Amino acid sequence: MRSRYTAFATGDDAYLLRTWHPRTRPTRVDLDPGTRWTGLTVLRTESGGPGDEDGVVEFVARWTEPSGPAGRGRGELHEVSRFARRAGRWLYVDGDHG
């Protein structure tokens, strides 16, 4: 989860696609270059340990972006993400926004 957040923060769309489960992976990721990711808080995890084949991560990611001449917009993404292990690597499957 933290590595995917870092990929969003640094604009690494290739990494995001590589770590997305092929069953749910889009053909491309369109990252907004104006969005600045400013923090990640992991709220809880379920499974996802060395012997598990799936896991869940609930997190809040904060962002800012240009909102016009008056300043910057701020917000947060609250998601419960599902991951699956495939060939020894954790892949993002999907998530529910809260």
Per-residue pLDDT, 44: 97
Question: String of b and e for 72-93 (b: at least 16 CB within 10 Å)?
Answer: eeeeebebbbbbbbeeeebbbb
Alpha helices in the chain (DSSP H): 2-10, 13-18
Residue with tokens 């992991």: 42
Residue 65 pLDDT: 85
The mean per-residue pLDDT over the stretch 15-29 comes to 97
**pLDDT number for residue 73:** 86
Checking if the pLDDT of 79 tops 70, the result is: yes
Mean pLDDT of 12-37: 95
Q: What is the mean pLDDT of the chain?
A: 92
Structure tokens at 38: 């400013």
Q: Are 81 and 60 in contact (CB under 8 A)?
A: no
From the options 3.40.1160.10, 3.10.450.50, 1.10.3720.10, 3.40.50.180, give the CATH code of 2-97.
3.10.450.50
In which order are the strands placed within the sheet that holds 72-86?
Answer: 36-47, 54-66, 72-86, 89-97
Q: Which residue has the tokens 């696609």?
A: 17
Query: 43 vs 27, 34, 98, CA distance in Å?
Result: 30, 26, 12
What pLDDT, in 10s, does the model give residues 44-76? 999 999 899 999 999 999 999 877 555 678 899
